[in-house]
Structure 1
Amino acid sequence: MESHTKIIFNPCENKENQYIAVLVNGLEKHGFEVSRLDDFLSSKKHYQSIKLLHLNWFENLDDSSSSSMWKSYFRKLVVLAAIKFGKKKLVWTMHNRLSHEKKSGKLSRTLTEKIVAQADAIVIHSEVSRGILRSQYPNLKSKIIHIPHPDFADVYGATLPECAVDRTIQLKLLFLGAIKPYKNIELLIEVAMKFPDSVHLTIAGNPNSEAYRSELQKLAQNIPNISLELKFIPDAVLPSYIHQSDLLILPYSLESSLNSGTVILGFSYGRTVICPRIGTIDDLDGGEDVFDYNYSSESEHLAALEKQLQKAITLHQDNPKTLIEKGHRMRDLVLKKNSKQDATDSLIKLYESLLN
């Protein structure tokens, strides 16, 4: 394959997620010339030079208004048509079971069907995705390739050294990431209120709207064991936030969530998690080192989350080092199973197999 093969990796940058940077940097080091999707149709020469497009979250639509949603949908149909017309290779990464955006769900599913029908290869980050794809698309012709989500070890800065553990302090829980309704923050507030003396919860991240910010502030008002830091958390301070916690608590929706970069981030920096058994947790199979659970209704979710939290509190009270030790074992497991170098190498191998 010629050096400096021109491809599009979309998005090619994301200020809120270093996942993109890890992969794009690896591709560029190998000699791929990575361009933005916005420039795909900027000129005939550029369009003709692009050999392959890799789309991430392409099925998500702008649902800020009905007109924006339809505009977003038709623009993406044009891109897919241009890819097909130019006989470009198309790779799509399946990140979620469904789009997290409720308003555009139906249109997003239609777009996903078109992407799946046209894709030369579909990248999955968890093995359960293969079964989901096969059941949803029985006539699937695309090549499915399982590439584990790359680790984030040292990507956001060095892992901080552990300090002596104080037995008297509360269990320090951390929710980290973009604050969106499907992440069940309300449920998190409800469960933290049940343990006023034994738990302190910090919710850190930027809400997706001012209305949602206000709603959460009202819910957590005058609750002393909950700290809201509803703002964008810069990359440089993420290791500190993780280091100051005993474990992360991430009560995602099993209906739409499949993979989680935040779970990988927590493990990469030596902290374990309380989290539903999504694909990321399933693949790693950390056993007793992860507080995972399943549920089939909202009431079941609260009960299962509460049960895992109580288990973590008991372990913490018996020996505060236990949770940190679990986190360090999960870091070792992630470095082995989710090596960022292996992820990049697998992607390069896939591209080369499609282009040769």
Structure 2
Amino acid sequence: MSMDSPTKIIFNPCENKENQYIAILVNGLEKYGYDVSRLDDFLSSKKHYQSIKLLHLNWFENLDESSSSSMWKSYFRKLVVLAAIKFGKKKLVWTMHNRLSHEKKSGKLSRALTQKIVSQADAILIHSEASRDILRSQYRNLRAKIVHIPHPDFVDVYGAMLPEGSEERKSQLKLLFLGAIKPYKNIELLIEVARKFPESVHLTIAGNPNSEAYRDELQKLAQNIPNISLELKFIPDAELPSYIHQSDLLILPYSLESSLNSGTVILGFSYGRSVICPRIGTIDDLDGGEDVFDYTYESDSEHLAALEKQIQKAITLHQNNPHALIEKGYRMRELTLKKNNKQDVTDRLSELYESLL
């Protein structure tokens, strides 16, 4: 693409304080000479509207749930955006991040919006192969081009990985849950399972709860459990490598019902730590074999049992060889660098845009 006439596109959102995923993609596109604008400015003037050639939407199906009127308002605003894209014959790319919206209240409206996006999209970007089957089963006459581009790695994005010291690793297994604290992430389950390993496991839950009520609920649940540390606050980017470094494994008991991809799984691998996690699309695609503690389940009670089993397996390995888990993490880092290389990801995204334009 020639740099002297940059193609004007909208990438939404074009910034996200809580996730460098957006910055990696937007910076990569700008290096390719794309002029990236915000969705808020799409209809700011006739001239600007006409200049936009392509819009790439992420999480567009999520609605504002703060009140019923806000939810409906955000729904209609998004319908207007989709109508303007169609009317102006703009190219539309949508990234499918989740199996279904994580939000409970707006589920119906969100599904209706997703249906409209899918029927109008020129291309649907997926980050895991499992998404292809889900799309095909949900939308029988899908005409959009489905393009699989992996989630970019986070190697060195939040600062350099801390070197492994020669200090003796503690015999207690250090587990870390990291990320936004939301009900679908099964934090309650995590607290329940950590309680069963008072001597052999220490669990840190680090991240910002989505409401004060949920924060209070978790604090009550974890009260008087000495082997759980709650750090219920926003964790600044610069501190992420240190949090990951201090753990032996990340533990992410996501819901198989709604979760499909996980940036936090990629983050853990990028900083040399493996994960205990259900077999979501991200885990499946990387195919780390014995280097990942993955599992499946059909019910909440099965989930608890599967989680317990994986923790027990990790404890045994850790006690036999304190460096075994770290070695697994380093192998996953190498695999992620190969399969989710951020340069390859932005190259392929640029190629997708060019094929549409």
- The amino acid of 1:76's aligned partner reads K
Shift of 1:169: 3.4
For normalisation by structure 1, the TM-score amounts to 0.99
Q: 1:226 to 1:254 in 2, by over 3 A?
A: same
In 2, Cα distance between equivalents of 1:185 and 1:166: 30
Structure 1: which 5+ runs fail to align?
none
In structure 2, what is the equivalent of residue 281 of structure 1?
A: 283
Confirm or deny: 8 A CA contact 2:170 2:322 kept in the other structure: no
Confirm or deny: 8 A CA contact 1:125 1:148 kept in the other structure: yes
Q: 2:63 aligns with which of 55, 61, 64?
A: 61
In structure 2, what is the equivalent of residue 245 of structure 1?
A: 247
Say which SS state the counterpart of residue 276 (structure 2) adopts. Answer: strand
Say which SS state the counterpart of residue 74 (structure 1) adopts. Answer: helix
In structure 1, what is the equivalent of residue 184 of structure 2?
A: 182
In structure 2, what is the equivalent of residue 345 of structure 1?
A: 347
Post-superposition CA distance 1:69-123 (Å, at most 9, x none) = 0001000000000000000000000000000000001110000000000000000
Runs of 4+ aligned residues of structure 1 deviating over 4 Å after TM superposition are none
In structure 1, what is the equivalent of residue 319 of structure 2?
A: 317
Post-superposition CA distance 1:138-178 (Å, at most 9, x none) = 10000000000000000000011001252543110000000
In 1, Cα distance between equivalents of 2:110 and 2:42: 22
In structure 2, what is the equivalent of residue 296 of structure 1?
A: 298
Q: 1:261 aligns with which of 253, 260, 263?
A: 263
Trace 1:64-83 onto structure 2 (pairs within 5 A): 64-83=66-85
Say which SS state the counterpart of residue 124 (structure 2) adopts. Answer: strand
- The alignment covers a number of residue pairs equal to 355
Shift of 1:235: 0.3
Shift of 1:68: 0.6
Shift of 1:322: 0.1
In structure 2, what is the equivalent of residue 39 of structure 1?
A: 41
In structure 2, what is the equivalent of residue 6 of structure 1?
A: 8
Say which SS state the counterpart of residue 102 (structure 2) adopts. Answer: coil
In 2, Cα distance between equivalents of 1:202 and 1:330: 22
In 2, Cα distance between equivalents of 1:273 and 1:250: 7
RMSD after superposition: 0.8
In 2, Cα distance between equivalents of 1:65 and 1:271: 39
In 2, Cα distance between equivalents of 1:184 and 1:7: 37
Post-superposition CA distance 1:241-284 (Å, at most 9, x none) = 00000010000000000000000000000000000000000000
Q: 1:167 to 1:57 in 2, by over 3 A?
A: closer
Say which SS state the counterpart of residue 347 (structure 1) adopts. Answer: helix
Q: 1:156 to 1:167 in 2, by over 3 A?
A: closer
Say which SS state the counterpart of residue 274 (structure 1) adopts. Answer: strand
For normalisation by structure 2, the TM-score amounts to 0.99
In structure 1, what is the equivalent of residue 116 of structure 2?
A: 114
In 1, Cα distance between equivalents of 2:248 and 2:336: 18
In structure 2, what is the equivalent of residue 149 of structure 1?
A: 151
In structure 1, what is the equivalent of residue 193 of structure 2?
A: 191
Confirm or deny: 8 A CA contact 1:167 1:317 kept in the other structure: no
1:101 has 2:93 as partner: no
